[in-house]
Structure 1
Amino acid sequence: MKQVLLFVMIAFIGLHGSVFGRDLFKHRKNLGKESMPVSIGIGFITDFFDTLGIGAFAPTTLLVKVTKQLDDDRKLPGTLNVSHAMSCLLEALIFITVVNVEPLTLFLLVASATAGSWLGSKFVTGLPEKKVQFVMGCALIVTAVLMALKQSGMINILGEGNVATGLTGIKLMIGIVGNFALGALMTMGVGLYAPCMAMVYMLGLSPLVAFPIMSASCAALMPVASINFIKTGEYARKLSFGITIGGIIGVIIAAKFVTGLDITVLTWIVIVVIIYTGFTYLQKSHRAVAAQEV
């Protein structure tokens, strides 16, 4: 199963690289006016922290706006997908290779997230986004608090020392259903990383196991989405190229950092990421409610 996923990730790298590369070569005389050093810097920063589980889209949007690297907001969705597809695939390839995770668990959870995103693109987007963001925000913060209490030794509600690398029985079914739902919610803009971290921990798996699961889940989606943006030209070529270069470097460095951490330190990092993402969802929900009241 793990070999199948590795083959799929490598195939997607080849697919994305060829489609992206051909488009860059075709427009090599007019790639854009963006700054290559700034673009590379944005890619390094955002994908370094993306590898830690924070996510790349929101930080990239912020940095692109602050540095004024994009003059047409209509190209932002395409730029985000195209520029981060390769780094996300690389994340998945590294974590699948170096992290000890039970192959069947990994395969089934990644497959369920992919199926969920397909269904979500058709049906889930009709749900009230602000309510979903509010519920997800509250759930993540509560989970993070429980994790922190457990790590500090105050409670053992989450079980003793999560070291499992695979799921079986009812826990496996919960994981499949949970990742299916997270894949569907991605189509509404609800990031998969932090909720996946929380779910994996609550099911008793080692926090490190979340990294191949969440990265491979997203890596199976982004290359396909980016193809249409490339074909229609709805993305910033030079900016995306720079972010891709910086992102690859950021992923390699961050992956070594993550996999070399003591599991206790890693768990605290996961807790911080989950809290950060939870408050981000609550903030988005609050802004959506405020906009409706105006």
Structure 2
Amino acid sequence: MSDPRLYLFSVLALLTAGLLAAWARAAAAATRAGRERDGWRGRPSAFELVVGFGTNFFDTLGIGSFAPTTSLFKLKNVVPDEEIPGTMMIGHTPPVVIQAFIFIAIISVQPTTLFVLIAAAVLGAWLGAGIVARLPRSRIQIGMGVALLIAAATFLMAIFEVTAVGGEASGLSGGSLALAAGCLFVLGALMTIGIGIYAPTMIVVSLMGLNPAVAFPIMMGASAFLMPVAGLRFLKAGRYGLRAALGLATGGIPAVLIAAFIVRSLPLTAMRWLVVIVVLYAAIAMLRSALHERRSGPGPAADGRRAAGAR
């Protein structure tokens, strides 16, 4: 393989194929067993398809899809609350994998930088989960929310040429790469308690002097490697809604194809404005979640809230 990205594509394709095969077997087994409960049989509804399209369109722009999907599913009571995390993890996997393929293919990133930062985020999610899970989640959310607000203000100053943030570089090396990898390791670990990776990755990439667009293949790639593995766990437990997951996947795929080329065509200034919007959205959502968690305290919905903020 002359292009090193093909190794990433090959591994990601195998992981995704494994999830899709297991998903098909689980759906067939459920149908054969005659399970009639909602979410296991029938075609996706128009609402589920629209949710899949809308959430994945904005996910491709860096907004994230889990929080809005959770809100919309709860609004219409699409699946039981305990099945929302698994439904999202399985249903959003095909669109996110397509995002990863597209952005890795169309946005120029130095291969070493791409591989190291994706690997750091994935390792953080796996190795750092036990440590981070013991930290006070609401305090982390408040700290991250405030940091993102400061970062958004910094980007606004860069847009109006008050200060300089970001650049045109497509790769890092030496100490800069090691520092960025350390940041992505921490962000990957924070994903396990519901702290989204998208907006912080945009900030890390830009502050390291890279083009903000470089964040897209990195953050989509990290999510794409994590989601098929997590989806298999939900499939094994049967904690998901089949029809709703199909709606997310079916509606999400065309949305990704449309939104990805919008991102690709944005000039640097427009990309900075997109980063500001994404970061402000993430900061406000994070601070609201922290406030809600402090008011309600830990409870049965904790897992759902974690999944809702995971990206």
TM bucket (normalised to shorter chain) is over 0.9
Partner of 1:129: 137
Report what 1:13 is aligned to.
16
**What is the CA–CA distance in structure 1 between the aligned matches of 2:186 and 2:44, rounded to whole Å?**
39
Alignment of 1:1-294 (within 5 A): 1-28=4-31, 30=36, 31-32=40-41, 35-70=44-79, 72-156=80-164, 158=165, 162-291=167-296
The percent identity for this pair of structures is 37
Given the two structures, how large is their TM-score scaled by the length of structure 1? Answer: 0.94
How far off its partner does 1:8 sit? 1.6
Normalised by the size of structure 2, how large is the TM-score?
Answer: 0.89
SS in structure 2 at match of 1:122: helix
| Residue pair 1:12, 1:89 contacting (<8 A) in 2 also | no
Q: Secondary structure of 2:130's partner?
A: coil
Please tell me whether the aligned partners of residues 34 and 69 of structure 1 are also in contact (alpha carbons under 8 angstroms): no
Q: Distance in 2 between matches of 1:268 and 1:131?
A: 28
Q: After TM superposition, which residue ranges in structure 1, 4 or more long, deviate above 6 angstroms?
A: none
Q: How many aligned residue pairs are there?
A: 288
TM-superposed deviation, 1:34? 7.7
Residue pair 2:52, 2:250 contacting (<8 A) in 1 also: yes
What amino acid sits opposite 1:108 in the alignment? V
Aligned-residue offset at 1:234: 0.7
Structure 2 unmatched runs, 5+: 298-311
Distance 2:201 2:212 in 1: 10
Distance between the aligned counterparts of 1:32 and 1:25, measured in 2?
10
Kindly provide the CA deviation profile for residues 25-50 of structure 1, in whole angstroms up to 9, marking residues without a partner as x.
Answer: 33346524685221111100000000
1:289 deviates by 2.6
Aligned Cα root-mean-square deviation (Å): 1.5
Of 224-233 and 183-192, the range deviating more from structure 2: 224-233
- Matched-pair contact (CA < 8 Å) for 1:9–1:92: no
Range with bigger deviation, 182-191 or 73-82: 73-82
Q: Distance in 1 between matches of 2:168 and 2:283?
A: 25
Q: SS of the counterpart of 1:154?
A: coil
Tell me the amino acid that sits aligned with residue 23 of structure 2. Answer: F
